[in-house]
Amino acid sequence: MPRHFITGTELSAGEVRALVERALELKSAPYSSDALRKRTVALIFQKPSTRTRVSFETGVAELGGQPMALRADELQLSRGESIRDTAYVLSRHVAAIGIRTGEDEVVAEMAAYAGVPVINMLTPRHHPCQALADLVTLREAFGRLDGLKIAYVGDGNNVARSLIDVASLVGVEVRVASPDGYQLEDSAPGVMTDDPHEAARGADAVYTDVWVSMSDDPATAAARRQMLAPYRLDAELLDRAAPHAIALHCLPAHPGEEITEEVLYGQRQRIWDQAENRRHAQKALLERLIDA
Ligand code: CP
């Protein structure tokens, strides 16, 4: 059976730690692995992407492989071919399948029928590839993961859920501050509050994400911006965190909404490292899944 990466919790704590270290090795020597030599990785994008597409395509190429990006309108899926049949056909050609889609069930079904690893490149509930890159960025910034405290402020979305799921495996505490109606389910293992200052107090990193995600109804945008305004990541909120604290953002950013320009482009952010680390983390993930 292939190993899939759907929520991030398919990996053990030890594997996540090893993957983070491997990502940093690959960052310092980008062409040192040819794990995908003469192999192709299909990357299905049913939703727009900048970072995920560029980092996966470049990462697969650096591993000696051939990335094959497939937009929704280029596949027979858009004309009614089933996910099952698509999984069967792709598995006869490629070493792994990445998929970004608007329904979690699509990824689950692809994984159920694929004969090769399936990687979740973002769904409404999960964004585990982002969480891996976040851990690489934290490890790079602080030299360790154990005992770090991260405050996530804003919409309790897929990024927040995956951050909790993956970071809690390796001893990173995640506190999520969101207003009523925008909070993660109580069962998530992080610390939940509606107070962004309480979440940020003494944290090693303060993290935010967009207020209107791709899966959100655009008609709710104005209400979301109003409710989430007190959760903006600005210099004052960052001052509540530890003196050495860094600012993180999944991107794309909307300066003036969930983050100020001052923080986004300032001295305390590691946001652009975070975007780069997508590639290194995903290369380490591909090595691990392909070898399994
Ligand atoms: N963070 C992230 O997934 O970016 P893209 O939507 O541009 O891929």
- pLDDT (0 to 100) of residue 115: 98
Compute the distance from residue 127 Cα to the ligand 1 centre, in Å.
Answer: 9
Find residue 68's DSSP bridge partners.
42
Residues noted as catalytic: 100, 127, 130, 209, 250, 278
User: Is the minimum distance from the CB of 274 to ligand 1 under 6 angstroms?
Assistant: no
User: Is the minimum distance from the CB of 131 to ligand 1 under 6 angstroms?
Assistant: no
Residue whose structure tokens are 């506190």: 175
Give the integer Cα–Cα distance in Å for 29 and 48. Answer: 30
User: Is the minimum distance from the CB of 269 to ligand 1 under 6 angstroms?
Assistant: no
**Best mutation site among 43, 44, 51, 123 for ligand 1 pocket (most ligand atoms within 8 Å of CB):** 51
Tens digit of each residue's pLDDT, the chain (292 residues): 999 999 999 999 999 999 999 999 999 999 999 999 999 999 999 999 999 999 999 999 999 999 999 999 999 999 999 999 999 999 999 999 999 999 999 999 999 999 999 999 999 999 999 999 999 999 999 999 999 999 999 999 999 999 999 999 999 999 999 999 999 987 677 788 999 999 999 999 999 999 998 888 999 999 999 999 999 999 999 999 999 999 999 999 999 999 999 999 999 999 999 999 999 999 999 999 997 7
User: In angstroms, what is the C-alpha Rg of the chain?
Assistant: 19
Q: Tell me, yes or no, if the two domains 13-127+278-291 and 130-275 fold the same way.
A: yes
Compute the distance from residue 174 Cα to the ligand 1 centre, in Å.
Answer: 21
Compute the distance from residue 54 Cα to the ligand 1 centre, in Å.
Answer: 9
User: Is the minimum distance from the CB of 249 to ligand 1 under 6 angstroms?
Assistant: no
Kindly list the domain boundaries of the chain, sorted by start residue. 13-127+278-291, 130-275
User: Is the minimum distance from the CB of 51 to ligand 1 under 6 angstroms?
Assistant: yes
The ligand 1 atom at the shortest distance from the C-alpha of residue 55 is 8
Give the integer Cα–Cα distance in Å for 156 and 216. Answer: 12
Compute the distance from residue 188 Cα to the ligand 1 centre, in Å.
Answer: 23
- pLDDT (0 to 100) of residue 174: 96
The protein residue whose alpha carbon is closest to atom 4 in ligand 1 is 51
Compute the distance from residue 273 Cα to the ligand 1 centre, in Å.
Answer: 14
User: Is the minimum distance from the CB of 132 to ligand 1 under 6 angstroms?
Assistant: no
- pLDDT (0 to 100) of residue 111: 98
Torsion, Cα 281 285 291 292, to 10 degrees, reads: 150
CB environment 113-151: b (16+ within 10 A), e (fewer): bbebbbbbbbbbbbbbbbbbbbbbbbbbbeeebeebbbb
- On whether the 130-275 domain is CATH 3.40.50.1370, my answer is yes
User: Is the minimum distance from the CB of 47 to ligand 1 under 6 angstroms?
Assistant: no
User: Is the minimum distance from the CB of 157 to ligand 1 under 6 angstroms?
Assistant: no
Residue whose structure tokens are 């491997």: 22
The protein residue whose alpha carbon is closest to atom 7 in ligand 1 is 50
CATH superfamily label, 13-127+278-291? Aspartate/ornithine carbamoyltransferase (3.40.50.1370)
Give the integer Cα–Cα distance in Å for 168 and 9. Answer: 10
Compute the distance from residue 52 Cα to the ligand 1 centre, in Å.
Answer: 5
